[in-house]
């Protein structure tokens, strides 16, 4: 190993012996002992041995450190997540026109433990409120109607019965209230219809309460964003 003289003070540690073999001096360093001084006899060979220090305790601590800091690539799924994934795999179908159809993954206990109540009246009252507001804004009313007509044309929604689905006193239907969201700066969709599945039914539970959230499908942004300083 050849090092510059500017590095020498950084590698020296305590330990110095004079008059080794008469003319040499030994100095301890972080790499081991070094010899310096004039040589009286001709040296034909020179050996340097380096051994690795076996420190199981240190190796174990380093291994644990890196294992704890290592980001796991495996996703841990809850029982609800597994049920959602299984349901989507077994029930998702593609119709002839290319649209996908899938069942809603209701939580275990619906409708016995998590019961929905009547929701039509609440949704109707919100609709009437929106209708009064749209009457004052003809342009918005026209755009809102265009969006809903598009949903009908694309079979994203269809006319249904005005009666709620009830069996043995349990509700198996839910009316989704909706409202408009305006984005004047948007180049594509300036008016968007938002359906509110968090609106409570008469039982105090909403449609969202009866459905699991499902697993997170996107990668964690903190793991893929590189911060530069």
Burial class (CB in 10 A: 0-12, 13-18, 19+), 1: exposed
Across the range 153-166, mean pLDDT stands at 87
Residue 204 and residue 115 in one domain:
yes
In a domain? residue 24: yes
Percent of the chain with pLDDT over 90: 29
Residue 206 and residue 126 in one domain:
yes
Q: Is the pLDDT of residue 56 over 70?
A: no
In a domain? residue 225: no
Is residue 14 a contact partner of residue 28, using CB atoms and an 8 Å limit?
yes
Residue 114 and residue 206 in one domain:
yes
- Give the domain extent around 121: 109-210
β-partners of residue 26 are 17, 35
In a domain? residue 76: no
In a domain? residue 119: yes
Q: What is the DSSP letter of 218?
A: S
Q: What is the pLDDT of residue 17?
A: 81
* Signed CA dihedral, 57, 61, 62, 64: sign only: positive
In a domain? residue 95: no
pTM score of the predicted model: 0.57
Residue 195 and residue 116 in one domain:
yes
What torsion, rounded to 10 degrees, do the Cα atoms 180, 182, 188, 189 define?
Answer: 0
Residue 205 and residue 113 in one domain:
yes
Q: What is the pLDDT of residues 73-131, one digit of tens each?
A: 666 778 888 888 888 889 999 988 888 888 888 988 899 889 999 999 999 999 999 99
Residue 122 and residue 199 in one domain:
yes
In a domain? residue 80: no
DSSP secondary structure of 31-92: TEEEEES--SS--------------HHHHHHHHHHHHHHSPP-PPPPPHHHHHHHHHHHHH-
Q: What is the pLDDT of residues 171-183, one digit of tens each?
A: 999 999 998 888 8
Q: What is the pLDDT of residues 179-195, one digit of tens each?
A: 888 887 877 778 889 99
Q: State the average pLDDT for the chain.
A: 82
Closest to 129 in 3D by CA, of 219, 199, 41: 199
Q: Is the pLDDT of residue 65 over 50?
A: yes
Q: What is the pLDDT of residue 2?
A: 65
Residue 125 and residue 34 in one domain:
no
Residue 113 and residue 191 in one domain:
yes
Task: Provide the number of structural domains found in the chain.
Answer: 2
Q: What is the pLDDT of residue 174?
A: 94
Q: What is the pLDDT of residue 206?
A: 95
**Higher pLDDT among residues 7 and 71, named by residue:** 7
Q: What is the pLDDT of residue 229?
A: 43
In a domain? residue 179: yes
pLDDT tier for residue 197 given thresholds of 50, 70 and 90: very high
In a domain? residue 67: no
């Amino acid at each position: 190993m050849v090092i510059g003289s500017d590095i020498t003070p950084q590698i020296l540690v305590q330990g110095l012996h004079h008059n080794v073999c008469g003319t040499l001096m030994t100095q301890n360093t972080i790499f081991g002992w070094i010899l310096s001084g004039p040589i009286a006899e001709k040296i034909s060979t020179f050996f340097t041995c380096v051994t690795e220090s076996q420190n199981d305790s240190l190796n174990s601590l380093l291994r644990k450190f890196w294992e704890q800091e290592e980001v796991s690539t495996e996703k841990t799924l809850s029982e609800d997540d597994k049920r959602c994934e299984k349901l989507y795999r077994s029930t998702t179908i593609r119709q002839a026109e290319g649209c996908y159809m899938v069942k809603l993954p209701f939580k275990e206990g619906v409708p016995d433990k998590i019961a929905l109540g009547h929701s039509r009246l609440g949704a109707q009252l919100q609709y009437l409120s929106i209708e009064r507001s749209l009457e004052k804004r003809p342009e918005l009313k026209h755009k809102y109607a265009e969006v809903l007509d598009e949903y009908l044309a694309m079979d994203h929604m269809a006319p249904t019965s005005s009666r709620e689905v009830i069996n043995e006193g349990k509700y198996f239907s839910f009316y989704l209230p909706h409202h408009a969201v305006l984005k004047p700066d948007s180049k594509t969709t300036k008016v968007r219809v938002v359906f509110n599945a968090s609106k409570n039914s008469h039982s105090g539970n909403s449609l969202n309460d009866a459905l699991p959230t499902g697993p997170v499908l996107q990668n964690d942004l903190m793991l893929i964003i590189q911060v530069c300083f």
